[in-house]
């Protein structure tokens, strides 16, 4: 399940992609429009900045805006930054690979093989779902 953090982040990014052409938008405005706690959203947008998806401008008239084109931001990128791994198992994660501590034989694990298929299918869909697409599909 997506965490609230990820959902809030996604909604905020969709709002940003829709509303902002050039000027940055303050957290307070985004939070109000999406009914999100300002302080919580502040932390989320900061994570997205650290992750390279947003850029910020400090001080009065400052705020956040996209750091790259909406067509280049994948839903999988956003989810990874805010929720961590997408895969069902660490041993099939592309970006957060780790062994399963309780695994007795990784090369020969049938659960792993299924998790690999799920990962590939999921990433294909989440990769096609760019922020641009998400905005388009929001009527």
59 makes contact, choosing from DNA, its own copies, none, with CB < 5 to 8 Å by partner type, with DNA
From 20-28, 29-37, 45-53, 57-65, span contacting its own copies (CB under 8 A): 29-37
Residue 63 beta carbon to its own copies: minimum distance, rounded to whole angstroms: 21
- The Cα 53–Cα 39 span in angstroms is 19
Residue 3 touches DNA, criterion: CB under 7 A:
yes
- The Cα 52–Cα 48 span in angstroms is 6
Cβ-based nearer residue to DNA, 60 or 139: 60
Burial class (CB in 10 A: 0-12, 13-18, 19+), 89: buried
Tokens of 83: 């929720």
Residues, the chain, total?
139
Residue 1 beta carbon to DNA: minimum distance, rounded to whole angstroms: 8
Residue 132 touches its own copies, criterion: CB under 8 A:
no
Map the footprint of its own copies across residues 70-129, applying CB under 8 A: 75, 85, 87-90, 100, 102, 104, 108-111, 113-115, 117-118, 121-122, 124-126, 129
> What beta strand segments (E) does 2-100 contain?
54-57, 63-66
Name residue 74's beta-bridge partners: 130
> What beta strand segments (E) does the chain contain?
54-57, 63-66
Residue 4 touches its own copies, criterion: CB under 8 A:
yes
Residue 139 touches DNA, criterion: CB under 7 A:
no
Q: Is the dihedral of CA 33, 13, 54, 16 positive or negative?
A: negative
Applying CB under 7 A, which residues contact DNA?
3-5, 26-28, 37, 39-40, 42-43, 45-46, 49, 56-64, 83-84
């Amino acid at each position: 399940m997506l965490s609230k953090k990820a959902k809030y982040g996604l909604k905020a990014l969709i709002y940003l992609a829709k509303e902002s052409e050039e000027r940055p938008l303050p957290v307070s405005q985004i939070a109000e429009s999406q009914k999100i706690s300002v302080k919580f959203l502040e932390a989320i947008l900061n994570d997205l900045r650290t992750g390279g998806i947003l850029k910020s401008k400090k001080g009065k008239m400052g705020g956040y805006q996209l750091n790259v084109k909406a067509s280049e931001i994948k839903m999988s990128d956003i989810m990874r930054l805010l929720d961590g791994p997408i895969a069902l198992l660490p041993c099939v994660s592309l970006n957060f690979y780790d062994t399963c501590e309780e695994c007795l034989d990784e090369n020969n694990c049938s659960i792993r093989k299924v998790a690999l298929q799920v990962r590939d299918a999921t990433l294909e869909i989440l990769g096609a779902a760019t922020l641009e697409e998400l905005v388009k599909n929001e009527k």
